[in-house]
């Protein structure tokens, strides 16, 4: 057996540096030991063949970078087996979703991504009693600390903080990110006044009519509860839920306002107040999404907000397989406050059905959140968003996607693609090709359904509608 030992257990570059010489020397996977076993290193490395290194699909490198963070001791070996098969001619290996090796690697990557989402949602900072610093304790299932630290730098850039885990620690001083040795739970201060306020907020936003204990345990596993102050409120809230639901039924609902064109912006005292609400809700994704919606309703930074009836936020489940991003609300969406309910939305619903996709399993939103139009008599004529409009709403869109955490983002049209990629890219060239945003998010571009409505003749509409349905089917296959 030939011993292989990456210089760092979770870095892609380290694993690649260890795998390349083996591949160049033609060493098969069964002749390599990646785990330092007793019989490792009994054979010398054969000379490398005079050959160029094989071209590896970018999708494999993206998968390997995530799988390497998994705790499975066989991850190095499994990746080398996949690399060997690709180099031997199986270029489309990762497209075979039912291949046992591909299935195992995909499940490992999914587990790592889910662990990262849990860290984003369930990590809690507490102020240090003597220093200007906040500390948090977290116990990740996988080796994700180094990869996820930049998320917390972006999220809490103006705060000095440290995250302690059994694997290591990370420290941010507002300028430099440093990694250190493992920490201990006892090093994190006890609960303070801020967490008491957060527990009060959590209780006030708890909806007893949507109580689903099994779903709560699935989304918020018990292993995280002891680190989260709001979990102390859950037994009381669950016990009070039946009575609260009965009281809600007793009160009944309120009638909506009759005025069709009334501005219905929610207006807190300032946008900063909405931002504080978002910060408080960071640990509860449904509350965080509601707070982001409130912040959007309060936003007056875009001239579109002045003339539109209301901001139109996204809708759909958390952790969906697909998240669709359109251009902007249309006339009907602006009046009803829901995305994709106008003519293009109805066509889109039909295409989803033909592709075997249920609308309820997807999350739907738009790159621009207010209707941009030109008034013409009694009609409002759609006007395409410009680069400034897209840039203004991009932070809302990115945070929305971050909270929803889809497996794949499907962009519908040029505006959505520009919003995701940060630059203009012709949809005709990018259509149907898997792409990655600068942050690494997978994106699948296709046309907007309104494009199909604008086609001049029935033959071209039917042909392009079929292409659109095939795009939806392929996007669905990518995540199933």
Mean pLDDT for back-to-back runs of 10 residues, the chain (480 residues):
90 93 91 68 55 75 95 94 93 88 92 91 84 90 95 90 95 94 88 55 57 54 59 64 66 50 40 42 71 84 84 94 96 94 94 95 96 84 90 92 93 96 91 86 94 91 95 91
CA-to-CA distance for 327 and 418, rounded, in angstroms?
10
Model confidence pLDDT, tens digit, residues 210-261: 555 555 555 555 555 566 665 666 666 666 766 766 666 666 655 544 444 4
106 and 144 belong to one structural domain:
no
Residue 55: its pLDDT value, please?
76
Whether 382 is covered by a domain: the verdict is yes
Cβ atoms of 389 and 347 closer than 8 Å: no
Whether 258 is covered by a domain: the verdict is no
Residue 236: its pLDDT value, please?
67
Whether 262 is covered by a domain: the verdict is no
User: Total structural domains in the chain?
Assistant: 4
Question: From edge to edge, which strands make up the β-sheet containing 408-412?
Answer: 363-366, 322-326, 408-412, 442-446, 435-436
Q: Which domain holds residue 333?
A: 271-479
Cβ atoms of 396 and 369 closer than 8 Å: yes
174 and 201 belong to one structural domain:
no
pTM of the model: 0.47
72 and 200 belong to one structural domain:
no
Residue 212: its pLDDT value, please?
57
Distance of CA 120 to the CA centre of its chain: 11
316 and 441 belong to one structural domain:
yes
288 and 224 belong to one structural domain:
no
Residue 252: its pLDDT value, please?
60
Residue 466: its pLDDT value, please?
95
Whether 263 is covered by a domain: the verdict is no
106 and 166 belong to one structural domain:
no
Residue 178: its pLDDT value, please?
95
429 and 475 belong to one structural domain:
yes
Question: Shortest CA distance to 452 belongs to which of 437, 439, 462?
Answer: 462
> Which of 154, 170, 187 is at the close of a domain?
187
23 and 84 belong to one structural domain:
yes
List the CATH number of the domain containing 342. 3.40.470.10
Whether 407 is covered by a domain: the verdict is yes
Model confidence pLDDT, tens digit, residues 62-78: 999 999 999 999 999 99
366 and 438 belong to one structural domain:
yes
326 and 183 belong to one structural domain:
no
Residue 313: its pLDDT value, please?
95
155 and 282 belong to one structural domain:
no
Residue 129: its pLDDT value, please?
81
305 and 388 belong to one structural domain:
yes
CA-to-CA distance for 261 and 333, rounded, in angstroms?
12
Residue 221: its pLDDT value, please?
58
CA-to-CA distance for 112 and 70, rounded, in angstroms?
6
Residue 189: its pLDDT value, please?
83
Residue 229: its pLDDT value, please?
60
Residue 253: its pLDDT value, please?
52
Contacts of 316 (CB under 8 A, 6+ apart): 323, 360, 361, 362, 363, 364, 365, 404
Residue 273: its pLDDT value, please?
42
Q: Tokens for 251?
A: 């009160």
Phi-psi region of 165 (alpha: psi -120 to 50; beta: other; left: phi over 0): beta
């Amino acid at each position: 057996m030939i011993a292989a030992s990456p210089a760092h257990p979770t870095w892609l570059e380290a694993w690649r540096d260890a795998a390349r010489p083996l591949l160049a020397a033609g060493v098969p996977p069964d002749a390599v030991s990646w785990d330092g076993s007793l019989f490792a290193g009994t054979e010398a490395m054969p000379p490398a063949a005079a050959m160029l290194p094989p071209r590896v699909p970018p999708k494999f490198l993206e998968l390997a970078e995530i799988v390497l963070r998994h705790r499975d001791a066989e991850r190095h070996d499994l990746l080398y087996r996949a690399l060997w098969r690709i180099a031997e001619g199986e270029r489309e290996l990762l497209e075979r979703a039912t291949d046992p090796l591909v299935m195992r690697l995909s499940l490992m990557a999914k587990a790592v991504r889910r662990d990262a989402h849990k860290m984003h949602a369930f990590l809690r900072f507490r102020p240090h009693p003597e220093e200007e610093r906040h500390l948090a304790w977290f116990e990740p299932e996988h080796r994700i600390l180094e990869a996820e630290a930049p998320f917390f730098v972006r999220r809490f850039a103006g705060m000095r903080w440290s995250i302690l885990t059994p694997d290591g620690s990370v420290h941010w001083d507002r300028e430099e990110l440093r990694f250190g040795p493992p920490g201990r739970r006892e090093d994190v201060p006890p609960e303070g006044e801020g967490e008491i306020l957060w527990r009060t907020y959590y209780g006030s936003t708890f909806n007893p009519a949507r109580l689903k204990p099994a779903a709560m345990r699935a989304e918020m596993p018990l292993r995280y509860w002891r680190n989260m102050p709001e979990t102390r409120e859950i037994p009381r809230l669950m016990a009070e839920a039946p009575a609260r639901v009965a009281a809600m039924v007793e009160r009944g609902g309120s009638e909506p306002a009759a005025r069709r064109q009334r501005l219905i912006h929610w207006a807190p005292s300032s946008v900063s107040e909405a931002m504080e609400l978002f910060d408080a809700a960071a640990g509860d994704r449904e509350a965080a999404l509601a707070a982001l919606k409130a912040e959007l309703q309060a936003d007056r930074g875009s001239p579109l907000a002045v003339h539109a009836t209301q901001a139109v936020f996204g809708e759909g489940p958390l952790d969906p397989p697909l998240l669709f991003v359109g251009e902007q609300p249309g006339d009907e969406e602006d009046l009803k406050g829901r995305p994709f309910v106008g003519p293009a939305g109805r066509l889109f619903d039909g295409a989803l059905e033909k592709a075997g996709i249920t609308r309820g399993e997807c999350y739907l939103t738009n790159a621009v959140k207010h209707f941009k139009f030109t008034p013409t008599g009694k009609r409002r004529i759609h006007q395409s968003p410009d680069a400034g409009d897209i840039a203004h709403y991009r932070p809302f869109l990115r945070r929305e996607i971050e909270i929803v955490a889809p497996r794949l983002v499907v962009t519908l049209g040029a505006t959505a693609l520009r919003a995701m990629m940060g630059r203009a890219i012709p949809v005709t060239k990018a259509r149907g090709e898997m792409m990655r945003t600068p942050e690494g998010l997978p994106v699948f571009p296709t046309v907007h359904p309104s494009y199909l409505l604008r086609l001049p003749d029935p033959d071209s509409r039917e042909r392009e509608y079929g292409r659109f349905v095939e795009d939806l089917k392929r996007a669905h296959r990518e995540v199933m």
